[in-house]
Amino acid sequence: KIPELMAENPARLFGVYPKKGTIAVGSDGDLVVVDPNAETVIEKENLYAKHPLTPFEGWRLKGKIAYTILRGMVIAKDGKVVVKEPRGTWIRRSTESLSG
């Protein structure tokens, strides 16, 4: 149920399914591996956002992102980016999700 709620449904909503939101032949293979037993403390120094402030500074959360995998390649490990060049690609939104 978690993959459906966190990946498939948003991908359908934004019109990028099945390129995103599923693990299947022809899909991108983007994954986030989470350690559910670890704890994360939100610190602004560790956020990748344009705005310098966050209202969540100091919050303790259960779970920690261990790896971020983009199209089958590890791009972040333990909260640190491990690639030198940006690897994103533009995905055209399907108009299918707009009609339903």
Q: Which tokens go with 26?
A: 């022809």
Give the pLDDT score at 99: 55
CATH code reported for the domain at 2-84: 2.30.40.10
Other C-beta atoms within 10 Å of 88: how many? 8
What are the residues facing 21 on neighbouring strands? none
Whether the model pTM is above 0.85? no
Tens of pLDDT along the chain (100 residues)? 888 999 999 999 999 999 999 999 999 888 999 999 999 999 988 887 888 889 999 999 999 999 999 988 999 999 888 998 877 777 777 766 555 5
Give the pLDDT score at 94: 72
Please enumerate in sequence order all residues whose Cβ is within 8 A of that of 26, keeping only pairs 6 or more positions apart, or say none.
18, 19
Please enumerate in sequence order all residues whose Cβ is within 8 A of that of 30, keeping only pairs 6 or more positions apart, or say none.
20, 69, 70, 71
Q: Where are the domains of the chain?
A: 2-84
